[in-house]
Structure 1
Amino acid sequence: MKKLIRGAVVGLVAALTLSACGGGDSGDDNPLAGGGAGGTVTVGGANFPESNLLAELYAQALEAKGVKVTRKFNIGAREVYYDQVVKGGISVMPEYNGALLVTSVDENSKAATTEEINAELKSKLPASVEMLASAEAEDKDSVTVNPQTAAKHDLKSIADLEGVAKDLVIAGPSEFETRQQGLKGLKEAYGIEFKEFKPFDAGAQSTLVKLLVEDEIQAADLFTTDPTIEQNKLVVLEDPKNVFNAQNVTPLVHKESVDQTARAALDAVSAKLTTQDLLDMMKRVVIDKDDQEKVAEDWLKKSGLV
């Protein structure tokens, strides 16, 4: 009887230990928390609508192939989630290849094209992660100004801000102030400094647009697939010196957490996804207020992926 009781206690302790190791959905410090081949794949999303829409696309595409998925959306900026992917707390993360390279991998990189960027990422990423196939779809950071500012100073390019920026207020996510693809890079490449920088959460695109329209700010870091740019006749300034390099939508994966079935499902999404698709879907999410789950499902059905 004592052996039976002792065995039950040992079994209970083991069960509790296993439960504690796998407890919670963050898995920040557990390299296997994302799920290995045949296990659960954790799909992450950053703190802005497009990232979470892309994450939902990935999640549904994986589920359509029988992969078990846990969603972990609205995590935060790259400075927050990247380390989680490296450690395996997140299995799959929608990324923008150029931004990832200069933000988290090599801030001094001069790679500009999709091919150059992906070659550097392949050689420089930590051994635990890799980028899968890039989509044609691209969403870049930009310096966008309101129409009255563009007209007043005849602005078409970031280079046109020389001698003008010192009188303008620019706003964007807080990390824009120190990133190479931000104020730091703009100063180095174009020699421009703005009168003031106002930091906002990366998910505050609608706030930035509102402030631009009301001329509370004159410039902002906006994502180029934001449908409200065209809706409000805002002007995206050209970037001839490529401070904002190619930023193709590309899945970043924790190698041990995705099997060949998952990889094939993610590659199939990248093979179909275009910039126009992103614009159309973001219009539905941001302007029409459609649920991202339905928007993702409709695109996957139209593309023959579910």
Structure 2
Amino acid sequence: MKRIATALAAIMVLSACGGDPLTGGNNNPAPTDTIVVGSANFPESTVLAEIYAQALAAKGVKVSKKLNIGNRELYFKGVQDGSIDLIPEYSGVLLKHVNKEATEVAPDEVYAALKKSLPQGLTVLDKSAAEDKDAVVITKQTAAQYSLKSIDDLVPYCKEFVFGGPPEFQNRPDGLPGLKAKYNCEFKQFKALDVGGPLTVAGLKDNTVQAADLFTTDSAIKANEFVVLEDPKNVFAAQNVLPLINEKKATQQVRDVLNAISKKLDTKVLLDLNQKLASPDKPEPEKVAKEWLASAGI
């Protein structure tokens, strides 16, 4: 019953965000003259999708958008069935999604393995220098109390800690299974929260969870003086931002536009974009994307 309730709640949230939840096999293929741009259900993915869509549209490419779809397990079905053509992705986690046995961790090795592992009909374009990893994050107070700097330091205390993160973190190879396999770290309890969002941040702040999964470019880390634990055994591989696209839609014009964006993206840009999205006036991702494209001369 709990799983059913969680699934229903997720669908309601996605609907409220204007997303188009995908079920795989029940979606119409994208029109042949249009590139359908999708995004996952967190702000960074949405603003990157807006950057892709606006840049392509400015060059005369016909685009439509399906934003805030959900997690990778959900939206990847849409990419495979052709109802989504293009989506911003992260190299390491995408590699693990298509090849759970992958062991590559360095940026170039991950990228090369990913290109070989993708299903027929899909490809990735140039990777950017921008990187956003999942990370085990704790509060400054917890770090001081237990003298924690790395996940290795955390191991003796894992069974005392409640861990918080998105539901899928329980089963992904680079989630709890990876922490168990590489560090022998099993937490006292897992608390399903959100994708690096306000529930996770609040859980850390009020000590509902003592450790959590957050993205390294999340502005909440600096704002709350959270501590990102080092990952010496590389549970979290390189995570370079790059476009995942339907090969049939990857014309030379489209490749040139998207590769130009990747050339301009770095981790500082991601941090700046996230900081703007989290600012008090809460600007729409569409506006933030438009401003960045102008500043980047794209």
TM-score by length of 1: 0.87
The equivalent of 2:229 in structure 1 is 237
Determine if contact 1:87/1:128 at 8 Å carries over to the other structure: no
- What pairs with 1:240-255 in structure 2 (closer than 5 Å)? 240-255=232-247
The equivalent of 2:141 in structure 1 is 148
Q: Note the residue ranges of structure 1 that are not aligned, 5 or more in a row.
A: 1-23
CA distance in structure 2 between the aligned counterparts of 1:78 and 1:26, rounded to whole angstroms: 11
Is 2:258 the partner of 1:266?
A: yes
CA distance in structure 1 between the aligned counterparts of 2:28 and 2:251, rounded to whole angstroms: 13
Once the two structures are overlaid, the 10-residue window that deviates more, 193-202 or 54-63, is 193-202
CA distance in structure 2 between the aligned counterparts of 1:52 and 1:231, rounded to whole angstroms: 22
Q: 1:282 to 1:64 in 2, by over 3 A?
A: same
Q: Which whole-Å deviations, capped at 9, do the CAs of 1:226-273 have from their partners, x for residues lacking one?
A: 001000000000000110000000100011123221121111110100
CA distance in structure 2 between the aligned counterparts of 1:143 and 1:47, rounded to whole angstroms: 20
- What pairs with 1:81-92 in structure 2 (closer than 5 Å)? 81-92=75-86
Count of aligned pairs: 278
Q: 1:27 to 1:262 in 2, by over 3 A?
A: farther
Q: Which whole-Å deviations, capped at 9, do the CAs of 1:105-151 have from their partners, x for residues lacking one?
A: 11111100111111111111111100110010000000000111111
| Among candidates 193, 200, 206, match of residue 198 of structure 2 | 206
Q: Which has the larger radius of gyration?
A: 1
CA distance in structure 1 between the aligned counterparts of 2:21 and 2:82, rounded to whole angstroms: 12
Q: Residue 163 of structure 1 aligns to which amino acid in structure 2?
A: P
CA distance in structure 2 between the aligned counterparts of 1:160 and 1:253, rounded to whole angstroms: 40
- What pairs with 1:91-170 in structure 2 (closer than 5 Å)? 91-102=85-96, 104-170=97-163
3-state SS of 1:164 partner: helix
CA distance in structure 1 between the aligned counterparts of 2:222 and 2:21, rounded to whole angstroms: 38
Over the matched positions of the two proteins, sequence identity in percent amounts to 47
3-state SS of 1:171 partner: strand
The equivalent of 1:215 in structure 2 is 207
Is 2:67 the partner of 1:76?
A: no
TM-score by length of 2: 0.89
Q: Once superposed, which parts of structure 1, at least 4 consecutive aligned residues long, lie more than 6 Å away?
A: 24-27
CA distance in structure 1 between the aligned counterparts of 2:268 and 2:274, rounded to whole angstroms: 10
Q: 1:208 to 1:27 in 2, by over 3 A?
A: closer
The equivalent of 1:181 in structure 2 is 174
Q: Note the residue ranges of structure 2 that are not aligned, 5 or more in a row.
A: 1-19
Determine if contact 2:89/2:242 at 8 Å carries over to the other structure: yes
The equivalent of 1:63 in structure 2 is 57
